[in-house]
Each structure stands twice: as structure tokens, then as C-alpha cells.
A = this chain, B = another copy of it.
Amino acid sequence: MFDLVCSSSASRTNLAPNDMLASLEHYARTSLVKHDAALFWEGDTVAGYYRVVHGAVRMCKLMPDGRRQVADFFGDGDLILVEFSETHRFTAEAIVDSVICFYPRSAIDLLVQSDARFARQLLGLACDRLMSAHSQMVVLGRKTAEERLATFLSGHARRHPKPNRLMSLPMSRIDIADYLGLTVETVSRVLSKLKRQGVIELPDIHSVRVVDCDQLELMSEGEA
């Protein structure tokens, strides 16, 4: 399984987590996390940091009455950047069976303290994530259901460019709904509408083919 640790390539950011974490591989422990199992729960003590070697992870928060918000999705190669606080403020769960690499907190902290270049790279990663988070606020605060789905799909297409424009959506409709601040029904309705309009195709439940990428981009900003 260890060879999987260095197998990923497509990162969400321009940074290379593999380079960045190369000096940590000595301390890393890789494990398999089953579908819907948690990497950690909100309230848990921060024991270390996780990287998705292969699979998919959602980071979410639950309100007392059960309402849920998915703050972010992580795919192959992504480092789950957590706060420097004592306890986790969010729950991380595997969307599908995933290979997860764990780095003890002490190792990361030591490296951050001693290696300015490493700290710089982590900082860059954190700033990129912060920017993405702020962009997502525009989605949640100001966009219509159709614009939200268009933003989600075109963003996904941009991050995971595929030869035939067929990309996989490992997460369920509920996950998408909770990520976009909508209900499952609305997500389903809008996807059906986009399909009817010929903007996308839905070969199977976890696949989307973006037929008209430009149109999708326009829709994502309400310019269609």
C-alpha cells in the first residue's frame, strides 16, 4: 500500500503536496477508511493531519437539529488542512472507500518550526483554501439554485479536466445539496433541467459529462 502514498498527481492547488510532504513520509501512516466512516469528528483532539491518497472526503458540520453544511470536498492528493486549535471544529468523513495518509501533529509542527520553506508552502495552501472558501460564500450567499449547480459543476470540471469531459461525482446528491445550501430535491430538479437543456449529460448517477462548458460558466455568474 505504501506505493500509493506517492501516486497522486492532480492537486487542487498549484502546490505539490507530495514535494511538500516528502520529508514527512517517514512519519506517515497509511490506512483504508471505509465509505461513510469518519477520519475524525468535530470535538476530537487534533492528533495530526490527513491527506487523501486515493478516494474522496467531505468536511462538514452538523447543527443541533440535524441541519448539515459541507464545507469542502477533498480528492486525490489533497491535504486536509486543519486549524492549529486543540480540537477539530468539523467532521471529516470518507465519501467512498479511501486510502488516507496520516501525519502526526508533532512531526508537522516540528517541520513547520524548523523549515521555513515548508511553512511557506503550507501558508500558500492555507491562503488558497481561504480564497476558495470566500468564493464559496458568494455561492451560498448570493447565487440562485441554478447558478450554484453551474458553479459547482464548472469548478469541478476546471479542477479535474478529463479528455472526454466525463467526470465522476463520488458524492451523493445529499452531499451536493449540503455543500450548496440546498435540498436534495432542488439539486435533482436543477440537474434534470440542465440535462434537458443539453448543457450536461448524466450517464450514471455518479458521472457527469459537461457538454457546453461555456454555457455553464455563463450560468454560474447569472449571465445566461
Residue positions of A touching B, CB distance < 8 A = 59, 61, 63-65, 67-69, 71-72, 81-85, 89-90, 112-117, 119-120, 122-124, 126-131, 133-138, 140-143, 178-181, 221-223
Contacts and interface: CB of A to CB of B under 8 A. Distances in A.
Nearest to A131: B83
A112 B122 contact: no
A114 B116 contact: yes
Nearest to A116: B116
A137 B136 contact: yes
A45 to B, nearest CB: 16
Contacts of A142: 63, 67-69, 181
A151 B145 CA distance: 24
Contact of A115 (B116, B127, B136): B116
A9 to B, nearest CB: 21
Contact of A83 (B115, B128, B138): B128
Given A112-B120, A126-B123, A142-B69, A131 B63 contact: no
A112 B181 CA distance: 37
A71 B82 CA distance: 20
Contacts of A222: 63-65, 67
Contacts of A140: 137, 140-141, 181
Contacts of A129: 130
A119 B114 CA distance: 10
Nearest to A109: B120
A123 B112 contact: yes
Contacts of A68: 142
B138 A63 contact: yes
Nearest to A62: B138
